[in-house]
A and B are shown apart, each in its own frame.
Chain A
Amino acid sequence: MAGVVISASYPPNIDPTRTPLAYGDRAIPRLNRELNDERLLVRQRAVVSLCDHLHDPEHIAEALRNDIGMSLKNLLKDQDLTVRQKATECLFVMAGHALGRDSFLETESIYPVAKLFDDAEDIARKNAHLCVMRISETPPGAEGIVKAQFVGVLVNKLQTELNEIKELILDTLHFCMREDTQCALEANAMEAFTLLLKHELPVIRAKAARDIMDLSVPLAGKDRAVACGTLQLLKDMLIDPTKEVRANAAGAIMTITITTKGKYTALNCGSIPPLVALVDDLNSEVRLNAIKALTCLSEAPEGRQKLLEHVEKIRNHENDHIAAVAKAAKIAVKVITWLP
């Protein structure tokens, strides 16, 4: 017979890696207290439970009311890997919600998170990048990142990081460049993206092409892209099997060919035939971008000449079910058949 003693230790089936949550609204304050505890084990368990607890938005709100943000920020500098990793994961989960993002920006947690970019462990870095990526999706977040001058750091990281993390960085940069392209240009981002266009993973290629598209929006970016010889690579990507790659490549071409120099470089590379082929693609984004790119190219007389043969194809899409494509097709036809 078992002993009838109320044991002081937990029942044996409970997950030892996390503290049990206290009841009701004592949960968060207790977790907060434990987060700042001196004992490593206690901290670890607390942060793990917190991470799961925060998936509920209501809990996030409550947690932020109890000043979890500052505690997490302090934990980011912790010695132990688990604590750091889990803390960044918490921040990542919180950054999925507006409240969390606001608190992130208020506590200026971007700095300790950015220090984690250089962490030795992959998982910590990955979480840190995930967190920053979520943050950058919102305009104030992107602005914060740009102001803290992390764009250059991120571009440099592109060369050296793992593939997964590269993806995240490319996403982050995509959003940052919506805010401000100047620092990215200064950090030689165009060259970095051009290098990535040849990566073996299609996802990375697609994202790199998208980033090039963003970076080429200002005039300086366009010139830089032409100088780096990006158009040739983009043209090769137009026949890629993955649709995102094709769409983004067409998009990048369409932004770069707005300048006269870009136009003529693209024409010399012979980008018209693949773009024409893409006009009939199944994916709407690909069609849209291809039509737009052709519109830009037809601003030049040589382009117009070549495209007069393919006008019919584009005219077919004027009744496309996607409104944007239809409109783009109309504009394209108008430009191609324009006479001075």
Chain B
Amino acid sequence: MTTVLPPKQEGTYTFASQPRAVPQRKKYREAVPQNPDGPMQYGNIMYDRRVVRGNTYAQHTLPATAQPDPIEIQRQQENRRRAIARKRAKDQLRPRSPDPVEGRKHIDVQTELYLEELSDRVEEADQECQTDAFLDRPPSPLFIPAKTGMDVATQIYEGDLFDFDVEVKPILEVLVGKTVEQSLLEVMEEEELANLRQQQRAFEELRNAELVEQQRLEEQERRHREEKERRMKQQREILRKEKETAEKIAARAFAQSYLADLVPSVFGTLSDNGYFFDPVERDVEQGFLPWLMDQVTYELDRSELGRLALDGLLREVVSKRIDIYDALAAGSAPASAADGRISAAPNSGSKEGEESTLEKPEEESAMSTVIEGGEAPAPLAAAPEGEEEQQAAPTEAAEGAESGEKAEAEATPEEPAAEAEAPAAGGEEEAGHSAAAAAATTTTTTTKDQKITKIQQQHNNNNNNNNNNNNNNNNNNIQQCSSSSSNNNNNNNNNYDKNNIQQCSSSSSNNNNNNNNNNNNNNNNNNNNNNYNNNNNNNDDKNNKSTLLEKISDQEKRIFSERLTTK
């Protein structure tokens, strides 16, 4: 709805508005009142404020000139303003009563002494009237048109539509049938399974029984068979043993008879070769006689020396006497008497020497040699000296051995065969030192050393029962065995080859058994055994594990064989 207020220029009034439809008037108020401030929507022209009412000729009209004087207008405005301001100021000056409380209004009240009847005032009474609150629109009731037409009824009695029993049968049959079938199936299934099980069980029973029977019979068979085999084996063993014994006996008898005369022949040969000797005789032959001869030679030499001295004396005496006689017998002196004496002097001297020597047939030969070899007294003198020294050495050694408790008696047999083997036949020196710091019993026995030129030193310190068995069958072996400390050191060193340098030093601890059996050439064995508690060191080279005794027997065998071959 648009209304356009026309500018008030002409005296006419125009009004134009867009045509609009008349709004429907609602019976009930709406929730929100519309447009409280806008111009009221009038329908009546008489109530429209815009319509001029009353006399129109007395109205304020605008002056002819359309354009009012701006100064006039301004002045009028000012006047108006002033008036308003005056009024306001007056109002303000006037004492007022305070503003009324909310919801009330002031009213004039007569406060003079004499009240004045107000006749122009109408008696008022407030009367209120209030409509009920607006209710919401109730739902429209169901429109049920009035019943029209004829009533018709119909009724289905039993048996009209269908016969239940008849109709239900097939359905029921199907239902029940299916159910029963299903359940039958399941039950049959289970029955079948149960039967299967039953059969299985029966079968299993039988099967187990049979199985067990079979196994039992197997077992039985096995046992019987084993028993039989065992018995047979036993029998066979017995037979075999018998046969073996019989054979052994036969072999023994035969061997006995065969070897019956082996022993005598062996002994015969040995004794022929001189292996069985009377030790006393041998000793006498070898030790005593040379010594005797030496002594004899010594004595003879001494006697010769004496005789020579005597000869010298005699010669001097004789020569002096000759001189004297010459001097005396410058004239005459018999010179024949002096020659006789001179010749008699050496003889007497020799005879004296003879008496002084021992009485043995060999001595004479020795004497004769001494006398005849009188030209070389020096080497002879030297020889006995050497022999003396030699003799001194073994005697010293003997003394040493006696004093100390280590006796190394070495018998050197003078077999030619043995000497043939020995290229360097030197003297043998052995020095045995026994540091008897601890006065313990140390016995060292060296058995049967048959080779020469060995330098052997043994240092045994701190010893309890040191048994050093050294079997050296070699040439040029240098062996040092130094076993120190502790108890029970058994050093068995068997060396069978040439050029054998062996050092065994076992120190400390208890019970060191060092068995060194070396059968190699040129082997240098340095066995330093610092062991504790029962160390048995058996060094066997070349698969030789023979015992000491066997070694000895081997040794003897070897020598024997060598003897045989060289013989």
Interface residues of A (CB under 8 A from B): 52, 55-56, 96, 137, 213, 217, 251, 254-255, 258-260, 284-285, 288-289, 292, 295-296, 299, 324, 328, 331
- Whether A324 pairs with B209 at a CB distance below 8 angstroms is yes
Task: Say whether, besides A96-B193, A324-B206, A56 and B185 are in contact (CB < 8 Å).
Answer: yes
Interface residues on B, range: 10 to 19
- Whether A285 pairs with B212 at a CB distance below 8 angstroms is no
**Could you say which of B186, B189, B205 contacts A324, with CB atoms under 8 Å apart?**
B205
Q: Kindly report which residue of chain A lies nearest to residue B201, judged by CB atoms.
A: A285
- Whether A288 pairs with B205 at a CB distance below 8 angstroms is yes
- Whether B185 pairs with A217 at a CB distance below 8 angstroms is no
User: How far apart sit A96 and B211, CA to CA, in the bound complex (Å)?
Assistant: 28
Between A and B, 12 residue pairs with Cβ closer than 8 Å are A258-B212, A258-B216, A284-B205, A288-B205, A292-B209, A292-B212, A292-B213, A296-B216, A299-B216, A299-B219, A299-B223, A324-B205
Contacts of A254 in B (CB 8 A): 208, 212
Q: Whole-angstrom distance from the CB of A318 to the nearest CB of chain B? A: 15
- Whether A55 pairs with B212 at a CB distance below 8 angstroms is no
Contacts of A285 in B (CB 8 A): 201, 205
Contacts of B208 in A (CB 8 A): 213, 251, 254-255, 289, 292
Does B256 sit at the interface, judged by CB under 8 A?
Answer: no
With contacts A258-B215, A259-B219 known, what are 17 further pairs, Cβ within 8 A? A55-B189, A96-B193, A137-B200, A251-B208, A255-B211, A258-B212, A260-B219, A284-B205, A285-B205, A288-B205, A289-B205, A289-B208, A292-B212, A292-B213, A299-B219, A299-B220, A299-B223
Contacts of A55 in B (CB 8 A): 182, 185-186, 189
User: How far apart sit A296 and B185, CA to CA, in the bound complex (Å)?
Assistant: 46
User: How far apart sit A262 and B129, CA to CA, in the bound complex (Å)?
Assistant: 121
- Whether A296 pairs with B182 at a CB distance below 8 angstroms is no
User: How far apart sit A213 and B186, CA to CA, in the bound complex (Å)?
Assistant: 33
User: How far apart sit A285 and B207, CA to CA, in the bound complex (Å)?
Assistant: 12
User: How far apart sit A251 and B210, CA to CA, in the bound complex (Å)?
Assistant: 12
User: How far apart sit A289 and B209, CA to CA, in the bound complex (Å)?
Assistant: 7
Q: Whole-angstrom distance from the CB of A309 to the nearest CB of chain B? A: 21
Q: Whole-angstrom distance from the CB of B11 to the nearest CB of chain A? A: 79
User: How far apart sit A134 and B111, CA to CA, in the bound complex (Å)?
Assistant: 122
- Whether A258 pairs with B185 at a CB distance below 8 angstroms is no
Q: Whole-angstrom distance from the CB of A172 to the nearest CB of chain B? A: 14
Which chain B residues numbered 204 to 239 have a C-beta less than 8 Å away from chain A? 205-206, 208-209, 211-213, 215-216, 219-220, 223
Contacts of B223 in A (CB 8 A): 260, 299
User: How far apart sit A324 and B208, CA to CA, in the bound complex (Å)?
Assistant: 11
Contacts of A255 in B (CB 8 A): 208, 211-212, 215
The listed residue with most A CB atoms (<10 A of its CB), out of B201, B209, B219, is B209
Contacts of B219 in A (CB 8 A): 258-260, 299
Contacts of A289 in B (CB 8 A): 205, 208-209
- Whether A328 pairs with B209 at a CB distance below 8 angstroms is yes
- Whether A295 pairs with B211 at a CB distance below 8 angstroms is no
Contacts of A260 in B (CB 8 A): 219, 223
Contacts of B209 in A (CB 8 A): 288-289, 292, 324, 328
Q: Which 8 A-B residue pairings sit nearest by Cβ, starting from the closest?
A: A258-B215, A55-B185, A254-B212, A292-B212, A285-B205, A258-B219, A296-B216, A55-B186
User: How far apart sit A304 and B384, CA to CA, in the bound complex (Å)?
Assistant: 103
Q: Whole-angstrom distance from the CB of B219 to the nearest CB of chain A? A: 5
Q: Kindly report which residue of chain A lies nearest to residue B183, judged by CB atoms.
A: A55
Contacts of B189 in A (CB 8 A): 55, 96
User: How far apart sit A285 and B203, CA to CA, in the bound complex (Å)?
Assistant: 11
Q: Kindly report which residue of chain A lies nearest to residue B211, judged by CB atoms.
A: A217
User: How far apart sit A255 and B193, CA to CA, in the bound complex (Å)?
Assistant: 28
Interface residues of B (CB under 8 A from A): 182, 185-186, 189, 193, 200-201, 205-206, 208-209, 211-213, 215-216, 219-220, 223
Q: Whole-angstrom distance from the CB of A248 to the nearest CB of chain B? A: 10
Q: Kindly report which residue of chain B lies nearest to residue A210, judged by CB atoms.
A: B204
Q: Whole-angstrom distance from the CB of B197 to the nearest CB of chain A? A: 9
User: How far apart sit A145 and B205, CA to CA, in the bound complex (Å)?
Assistant: 24
Q: Whole-angstrom distance from the CB of B70 to the nearest CB of chain A? A: 87
Contacts of B206 in A (CB 8 A): 324
Q: Whole-angstrom distance from the CB of B484 to the nearest CB of chain A? A: 59
User: How far apart sit A328 and B217, CA to CA, in the bound complex (Å)?
Assistant: 13
Q: Whole-angstrom distance from the CB of A66 to the nearest CB of chain B? A: 20
User: How far apart sit A129 and B219, CA to CA, in the bound complex (Å)?
Assistant: 38
Contacts of A52 in B (CB 8 A): 182
Contacts of B193 in A (CB 8 A): 96
User: How far apart sit A55 and B211, CA to CA, in the bound complex (Å)?
Assistant: 37
Q: Whole-angstrom distance from the CB of B128 to the nearest CB of chain A? A: 56
User: How far apart sit A254 and B208, CA to CA, in the bound complex (Å)?
Assistant: 9
User: How far apart sit A296 and B212, CA to CA, in the bound complex (Å)?
Assistant: 8
Q: Whole-angstrom distance from the CB of A17 to the nearest CB of chain B? A: 16
Q: Whole-angstrom distance from the CB of A176 to the nearest CB of chain B? A: 14
Contacts of B201 in A (CB 8 A): 285
**Could you say which of B185, B205, B216 contacts A295, with CB atoms under 8 Å apart?**
B216
Q: Whole-angstrom distance from the CB of A220 to the nearest CB of chain B? A: 13
Contacts of A299 in B (CB 8 A): 216, 219-220, 223
Contacts of A259 in B (CB 8 A): 219
Q: Whole-angstrom distance from the CB of B195 to the nearest CB of chain A? A: 13
Contacts of A217 in B (CB 8 A): 211, 215
Q: Kindly report which residue of chain A lies nearest to residue B220, judged by CB atoms.
A: A299
Q: Whole-angstrom distance from the CB of B199 to the nearest CB of chain A? A: 12
Q: Kindly report which residue of chain A lies nearest to residue B214, judged by CB atoms.
A: A258
Q: Whole-angstrom distance from the CB of B533 to the nearest CB of chain A? A: 43
- Whether B213 pairs with A331 at a CB distance below 8 angstroms is yes
Contacts of B220 in A (CB 8 A): 299
Contacts of A295 in B (CB 8 A): 213, 216
User: How far apart sit A96 and B223, CA to CA, in the bound complex (Å)?
Assistant: 45
Q: Kindly report which residue of chain A lies nearest to residue B218, judged by CB atoms.
A: A258
Contacts of B213 in A (CB 8 A): 292, 295, 328, 331
Q: Kindly report which residue of chain A lies nearest to residue B187, judged by CB atoms.
A: A55
Q: Whole-angstrom distance from the CB of B181 to the nearest CB of chain A? A: 8
Contacts of A258 in B (CB 8 A): 212, 215-216, 219
User: How far apart sit A251 and B204, CA to CA, in the bound complex (Å)?
Assistant: 11
Q: Whole-angstrom distance from the CB of B404 to the nearest CB of chain A? A: 71
Contacts of B216 in A (CB 8 A): 258, 295-296, 299
User: How far apart sit A137 and B196, CA to CA, in the bound complex (Å)?
Assistant: 11
Contacts of A328 in B (CB 8 A): 209, 213
Q: Kindly report which residue of chain B lies nearest to residue A296, judged by CB atoms.
A: B216
User: How far apart sit A324 and B223, CA to CA, in the bound complex (Å)?
Assistant: 26
User: How far apart sit A328 and B209, CA to CA, in the bound complex (Å)?
Assistant: 8
Q: Kindly report which residue of chain A lies nearest to residue B192, judged by CB atoms.
A: A96
Q: Kindly report which residue of chain B lies nearest to residue A222, judged by CB atoms.
A: B215
The listed residue with most B CB atoms (<10 A of its CB), out of A254, A259, A331, is A254
User: How far apart sit A258 and B208, CA to CA, in the bound complex (Å)?
Assistant: 13
User: How far apart sit A96 and B189, CA to CA, in the bound complex (Å)?
Assistant: 8
Q: Whole-angstrom distance from the CB of A186 to the nearest CB of chain B? A: 22
Q: Whole-angstrom distance from the CB of A127 to the nearest CB of chain B? A: 16
The listed residue with most A CB atoms (<10 A of its CB), out of B182, B185, B201, B208, is B208
User: How far apart sit A197 and B209, CA to CA, in the bound complex (Å)?
Assistant: 22
User: How far apart sit A96 and B193, CA to CA, in the bound complex (Å)?
Assistant: 8
User: How far apart sit A319 and B448, CA to CA, in the bound complex (Å)?
Assistant: 95
User: How far apart sit A132 and B346, CA to CA, in the bound complex (Å)?
Assistant: 140
